[in-house]
Amino acid sequence: MKFKDKLLEGTLLSRYKRFFADVEYNGEKFTIHVPNTGSLKSVIEKSPEKPQKIWFSLHGDETKKLKGTLEAVQTPTGVWVGVNTANPNRIVTEAIQKKPFLPHWKSYNYYKPEFKISKETRLDGAFFSTEEDYIDYKENKKSKVKAHFIEIKNTTYVSEEKKAIAQFPDAVTERGQKHLTEMMELMKLGHQCEIIYTVQRSDTKTFSPCAQHDPKYAQLFYRAMDAGLKVTPLIVYMDRTQIYLTSEKLNVI
C-alpha cells in the first residue's frame, strides 16, 4: 500500500490519553492522532534516554485540531514499528487481491470483507469457493456451504523477557477473547477459521499469545488452536513511502 505522500520524520515528545501525541518537526511543536488503542509497550518508552524518532502524515486541513497521524515509531534498538491499526486490514485486503498470496487461500475465488456472523459481531472477512456460495450462505440459514473466516490482529509488542518473540495482545482485549470463542463455535459447524497477526516490526523470529498481559486470551488461543484454528503471524515491512504484507511467517511457540 502506497502512502498518499511520503511520511515525514519528526520527534516524539509524549503520548497521552491513548490517542494524542505531541511531536516536533522542523522546530515546530504540535499534536497528532495516535490510531492505536493498545498500550504500545516495547514501542514507546516512558522515559527514553533520548527522544524517539517517528514517521507521521499531515492531512493539511487547517480546520482540524489534530494536524496529522502517527504511523511509526523507532524504538531505542533502532527498529521501526508501525502503529496505525487501520493499515493491517488494508494491506491484507490488498494481498488477497494478488492471488494466490498464501497457498491455503488458493482454492477460494471470492472474498467478502467485514463479514457479519451475528448481531453483535463482525469478523474481518470470509473466503468462499465462489460468489454463488457466498450468496447461498448469506440468504439460506440451512446452507451447507463452508466458509474460511479470517480475523486480522495488529501486533507490535515484543516480549521484554524473551527478546525476538512477537506477542499479542499488549493489554487485556475482551474483544479478542470474544473472537476466539466465536471462531471455536464456527469450527464446530465445519467452517475453517484463521487469525492473521500482522507483525509491524522486523526484529521478531517467533510468535506467541501474551499470557502476561491477558492470560484469558492466551488460554482461549491454545484451546482454539487445538480445535483447528489456523494461526498466521506475518511480518509487515514499511518505509516512508509504503507499507506491505510479506509471506514471512513466524513460528508459533
What is the C-alpha separation between 159 and 203, in angstroms, rounded?
A: 11
Q: What is the structure's pLDDT at 48?
A: 65
Q: What is the structure's pLDDT at 165?
A: 95
- In the numeric block, the cell 499469545 is attached to 209
Whether the CA torsion 96, 97, 101, 106 is positive or negative: it is: positive
What is the C-alpha separation between 95 and 90, in angstroms, rounded?
A: 9
Strands 230-238 and 192-199: parallel
What is the C-alpha separation between 7 and 5, in angstroms, rounded?
A: 6
- The low-confidence residues of the chain, meaning pLDDT below 50, are none
- 205: closest CA among 177, 150, 167, 148? 167
Cα Rg of the chain (Å, integer): 19
Residue range 202-249, pLDDT digits in tens: 999 999 999 999 999 999 999 999 999 999 999 999 999 999 999 999
* Prediction pTM value: 0.93
Q: What is the structure's pLDDT at 64?
A: 77
Q: What is the structure's pLDDT at 223?
A: 98
Joined together, the cell numbers standing for residue 101 give 498470496
How many Cα neighbours within 13 Å face the side chain of 129? 7
- 136: closest CA among 146, 149, 125? 146
Which amino acid is residue 115, in one-letter code? F
Residue range 190-207, pLDDT digits in tens: 999 999 999 999 999 999
- Residue ranges of domains in the chain, CATH in brackets: 8-80 (2.40.50.580), 87-252 (3.40.1350.60)
